[in-house]
Each structure stands twice: as C-alpha cells, then as structure tokens.
Amino acid sequence: MTLETFSTWEGTVDDLKGLVTERAISGETMLLNMGPQHPSTHGVLRLILELEGEEIVNCIPDVGFLHTGIEKNMEYKTYEKSIVMTDRMDYLNPMGNNLVYCLAMEKLFELDVPMRAQIARVILAELTRLNSHLVWLGIHGLDLGVTSMMTYCFREREVLLDIFEMVSGQRMMSTYFRPGGLWRDLPEEFEDAVRFVLKTFPAKIDDYEKIMTHNAIFLDRTQGIGFITAEDAIAYGLSGPTLRASGVNWDIRKAQPYSSYERFEFDVPVGQHGDVYDRYLLRVEEMRQSLRIIEQGLNMLEPGPFRSNNRKYVPPPRSELGRSMEAVIHHFKLWTEGFRPPKGEVYVATESPRGELGCFLASDGGPNPLRVHFRTPSFANLSAANKLSQGYMIADLVAIIGSIDIVLGDVDR
C-alpha cells in the first residue's frame, strides 16, 4: 500500500511524513496497519508499520483508544472517592495502583499507617504482582504459540483472585487500600489461603519453566530479539523488568523503599542480554521472589490496628458512632465534604509489575485534588517500541510488544 491509498483510509499523511522514511512516500517500502483489534496487541493498541519486505523500518504506536479521562475525573471528586478510579487504570495491578495513590495522599497529609496495614499492603501488592505476571506469562505464551500456558496461568490466577475477593469483596477492582491503612481488617481465613498459595506455587512455576524455558521454538523466537542496551533503555525511560533485563539494577522497592519494603529480604534479578528471553526469565524469577516476600510478610503480620487513628482524615469505626458525638461529626464531615489537606505537591514512585508507577499529587488546600497525574510504566515503556523493534521481522514484533508487558488501560488512563 502506498501512502496515497493509506491516506484515503485514515487521513494522516502529513502526520506520518515526519515519522516514516522518504521511501514510504515513494511507495518503495510498505505501510501496514496493525490493530487496534489485533489480539496480540494486548488490548486496543494500533501500530503503523513501515516494512521493507518483512523487516520493520519504523513502528509508530497510536494510543488513546482507552482514554477515559481518569485524571480529569479525579479533580472533580474528593480524595477518597477517586481511589476506585485508580483500580481501573492498570486492571492487572489494581492493588498497586491503590497503593501508589494512597502513598501519595499519606505523604501529602503526613498521615501515619499502622505496621499491620503496611505489611498487609506489601503482601497484597506482591500477590497482585504474581497475578499480573501470571496473566503476562499466559498471554506471552499464547502470542508465541505455547497456547496451553494461557489455561495453566489463568487457572492459578483464580486462586489469587479468590484471595482478593476474600479481603475486599471484589475479584479485580478491589479498592482495598485507603489513606491511613486498609478498608477493613484482613479476614481470619486470609492467612490459610495465602499459605496455600505459598505451598502450591513453587511447583507450578517449575511447571511453567519446563514448558517454556528450554523450549526450542520459544528460544528461537525470543533470544536476541528486541535487544536494547542499558544506556538506551535509561535514555528511553524504560523501567521495571524491561530495564533490568538490560543489566540495570534498579528496583524502587530496594532503591527508595516504601510501605516497609526495607524490612523484607529479597533479590532483584538482573539480566545480561536485554532481549525478550531475558525479560521472560526475570519475570519468572520475580514471581519466586514475590513468594519469598509474601512468606516473610505473613510471619511478620501481627494483630493490631489496621487503619490510622487520625480522625481528620480517617473516618471513625462504625461502633464509635453510637457513643461519641465527636465521631458523628467527623463521620459527617468526612463523607460530605471530605478533608482539606495542606497546599503542596508530592511525587511518589512505586515498583509496579511493569516498572516505575508514579503518582504526582497537587493540592490547593481544597477538598478535591488540584491535579492527580499517574506516571504509568506501560506508557513510558511503549514509547520505546520503535527503538525496540527496528530491524526485526514483523513476526518478532508480537514477541517484543509482549515482552514489554503493556496494559492499555495503563497507557491511556
């Protein structure tokens, strides 16, 4: 297809002119549209490819199909009401999104979080990481022809989703973390359910590795594909396993610990080759490390308060309402007007399964935030798609897009 026929379909010739080479305009190379409905684009991602034969000359991602204006909506709600929106950004990492927003609020308000809540947050964040990596592994396998991975991974994921349902009442959109702690205390059955995960998962991960790690077809399709050097990875803003596969040892859980991660012992796997295969190995190893963290967390978990006692930000428990007039006033003020934090801006970064998930929160002293911005890892990682895929075959693109583990809800917000 030449650029002229392409333009009748989409009408963005002028925009494409700076992005593709001159040869595309003369018709020497081919322009191909991939997506937004293509299954291996993990949602609604559209890629405009410039191809020479089967080789990718340029890959131009077109995002925004899932843009729902979450940041705009949050400016019109009180701080606490908009936690539900954070679940819906990166739908594979709902607890992690709750966590970064709550941490930003707590930093702005200077709100204390009881230790039990911090440990519970770490356990649940790591379970969410496990959940996210499982979905990634299943889909990545499906993309590359190991179709049975999908069924195995989703089977195991159900166990995790049941735990999320147990604590929050919701399988996916949990909204369980609140400023100052948790929505309610962990249920009694929680520990047994998580111990069951700890007992069964190592063998399951070994099974996945048996299917994937030494599979000749999988090796052929992933080794040496989507290579990026450490310098380029840093310059292009990659983070998470995608950056660590290039040999950069940077995990925010270690570098700038939050929510009591400094109390946990775990290793950060770092790759050497910076290709799709190393990213796969890292994520599998991260699943094992997550299990280590969860086990330590369960051992540290002690009974105690699960939410801060600061009544200016945290509503009083239901039982107090019948006895204390002050509790009724606080309850009424918090649920009608919300709270009024001090003026200022904070930026908090956490390590999501995909990389640096940051929250920039600006307050003007009113009950609604002045601005909430999420620095999402998928957005930054996807912006390097052109750099990652230039010079590879069109079939490799599926592996490359899979290996940077994007979630389109996280890209578009």
Footprint of another protein on this chain (CB under 8 A)? Answer: 12, 15, 18-19, 63-64, 67, 69, 71-73, 76, 107-108, 110, 234-237, 248, 250, 255-256, 344-347, 349, 356, 358, 360, 362, 364, 370-371, 373, 375, 379-380, 382-384, 387, 412
CB of 127 to another protein, least distance (A): 26
Which CB sits closer to another protein, 63 or 399? 63
CB of 155 to another protein, least distance (A): 36
Which CB sits closer to another protein, 119 or 361? 361
The token duo for 397 is 């693109």
Which CB sits closer to another protein, 19 or 394? 19
CB of 107 to another protein, least distance (A): 6
CB of 81 to another protein, least distance (A): 14
Q: Are 269 and 285 in contact (CB under 8 A)?
A: yes
CB of 283 to another protein, least distance (A): 21
Which CB sits closer to another protein, 136 or 236? 236
Sign of the dihedral defined by the CA atoms of residues 385, 373, 125, 87, in that order = negative
Which CB sits closer to another protein, 286 or 356? 356
Q: Are 389 and 397 in contact (CB under 8 A)?
A: yes
Which CB sits closer to another protein, 140 or 244? 244
CB of 272 to another protein, least distance (A): 18
